[in-house]
Amino acid sequence: MQIIGMLRHVAMACGAGQRPLCSRWTSGLPVRFLGTSSPQSPADASFHSASFSGADRPQVLITGGLGQLGVGLANLLRKRFGKDNVILSDIRKPPDHVFYSGPFLYADVLDYKRLREIVVNNRITWLFHYSALLSAAGEANVPLARAVNVTGLHNVLDVAAEYHLRLFVPSTIGAFGPTSPRNPAPDLCTQRPRTIYGVSKVYTELMGEVRIEPQRPLTTEPHPSPFLYFI
């Protein structure tokens, strides 16, 4: 639960427009966020509230790490779990200050074999999937956006399922369209986004329900958070 507060802190610091979602939990872990409650954190959701021994510390991989949130998230996770426990990855060349701040790997989410190799060789246990073509870039190259945002998602889902990883995938305010109700927009409503990025994020949300909910019983107690998790 401490990760929720940390992720919200990163998103707010970077000014990213993440879609406000609420949660249902199983065994204390978020599965799929649904609901209309205003975002809030449980009292014990502080990033620093839980302790991890050396053996318990996760081995983290962040895809799309040179985007809006990846570097900030890596910095926070490295402070908590150690520099060598958090691997930043992307298909772009990192600037010097990022490269020398901690482990960095080339990782293309369309290369399924390479993703598996990274997970196995680095004993990855947590995966934060940030790789995506956003609205403007996606509209300029729809075939590539469809490949990265949809096929890349499937590759990550399959790798996470095969190696029993904890997986985080964000949604976005772009999942709403011009016909969606506003002020406030409920989570369950007409969405119909008009960009390939928004459409792919609606698909991502639905894939979360298909891939996760049949496998894990849900409780009914909501714990609101502005993120979509697959765990």
In a domain, 22, yes or no: no
pLDDT of residue 13: 58
Residues of the chain with pLDDT under 70: 1-55, 212-231
β-pairing verdict for 126-129 and 60-63 = parallel
In a domain, 73, yes or no: yes
What total of structural domains would you count in the chain? 1
Q: Which of 130, 197, 203, 229 is catalytic?
A: 197
The 10s digit of each residue's pLDDT in 5-61 is 666 666 565 555 555 333 322 333 333 343 333 444 443 344 444 556 666 899 999
197 is catalytic: yes
In a domain, 162, yes or no: yes
188-223: burial string, b at 16+ Cβ within 10 Å, e else:
eeebebebbbbbbbbebbebbeebbeeeeeeeeeeb
Residue 162 belongs to a domain with what CATH number?
3.40.50.720
In a domain, 231, yes or no: no
pLDDT of residue 36: 34
Range of the domain at 173: 56-177+189-216
